[in-house]
Structure 1
Amino acid sequence: MRGSVWLGSVVAAALQPAVAAASPFETLDPYPAASLEVSSAVDYARGGAGVGEVILRHGAATGLGENLEASITFSHGWTDGDGSRRRIAGEPAVAVKWRFHEGSRSTAAIEPALSSPSGHDGLRLSLPVGIAWRSGRLGLRGALGYDHVFADAHGAMFTGVLATYALADHFTLGVELAADAPVGELSDPQVRGNVGFIWAPTDRIEVHGLAGRSLATSASEESTLVRLVLQAAF
């Protein structure tokens, strides 16, 4: 997952079906949807070489019982930066989230996802596992996963850690570190730092925002990401 170094990782993350879940962050949210949720999102990522990418995502998730969720997402977009605009083909994706542990303060889930990645032949399988812990207004979350495009020879590992704090009943801030690396290059991961928020102006509407940046060692490899999500529950 190097490609324009971080920009390739941004696109991969943007096309994940987890957009339908109630979180703008990369780290898996282990809480299944309690009702039908629909969302639309826009990501804007720019690399150190000046190439920008816009990804639009539309998704829906619904609860299938107390511990199960099914989601579907469709993503598309375009690139710019050299005076021209190139369309990024859409990537449909489906996912099922299973919460296999629920304690008084902790929750854990796995969310297998199958998608048809843009620019590749065949399918991509993502297998993230996440755990969350809450105490009062403080929340901690961690995730580890494997991502494999069947047409490629190797897969990639990804991980994330997230800390959140509810400043008010309807407004939460989060700080996150995320990383990914091909299986054969685990000693050289691409690391990103993100800050974001979740604002619920009503019981059924949420607005999510995120700003992130690669933690690169050279200016040519630096990339930034801005994400905005609108979600409605029914």
Structure 2
Amino acid sequence: MFEPSDRLEQLQSELAHAYQKKGESVNDFGKRLANLVRRASDVIKTSFDDDVTQRNLIQATHKSAIKCYVNGLTEDIHHRMVVNINLATLDEAIRAAGEVETDLTIRRSLLLANKDPPTRVHAIASEEKVEAPRLCFKCMQPGHFARACQSGPSGPRDQQRPRYCNYCKREGHVYARCWKPEQAENLNSKPSHATDAGVTRPKSDDASTTKQSWQLPPQDKTTPQSYQSDVQN
């Protein structure tokens, strides 16, 4: 059998080491401490006959319960409790903790609500990304894979064909960079050492006929001797 003093000491120890459990509301935690205070008060009343002593011990137990309750709350609630205000009773401390708990619950709900839209957008974007057509990583065009790509290292296969000139019929360049047309034009514009009489100027741009078109026409047997001399000179 425990002596009254031993029972009181045990209850005071339980009160000092009481902490809010995980998932336990501030009201339920307050009820546990209020139960310990009530049991301690009963022990005091049965252990001491003096009314003054009983009153002083019971008041001390209630004040100790307020501090034990505030210190035993979870960290998120304990840090937001206004510990410097004068809490006269355990019931006041429980109501103050309840207000903090309600405020935290609202804040958490708002945070979760604000996180929902980005999550849905991310999910939709992920679905669209999956449904998008795959591109060939070589030519970056849809419709085929790299192993079946007709493109070379720097572009489509058609761009890798050798250049061909339609004018001189040679490879390695195109008509715009061919020197043959310019050469033919220079030959056509070059002045002749022969006189203009009886000379036929070529009309064709074909370089293969340029040389023959600049020859003098055959002399006519009926041409006067003086004219032949002039032409020869």
Q: Normalising to structure 1: TM-score of the pair? A: 0.19
Name the structure where helix makes up a greater proportion of residues: 2
Name the structure where strand makes up a greater proportion of residues: 1
Q: Normalising to structure 2: TM-score of the pair? A: 0.19
**Larger Rg belongs to:** 2
Larger relative CO (CA 8 A, sep 6+): 1 or 2? Answer: 1
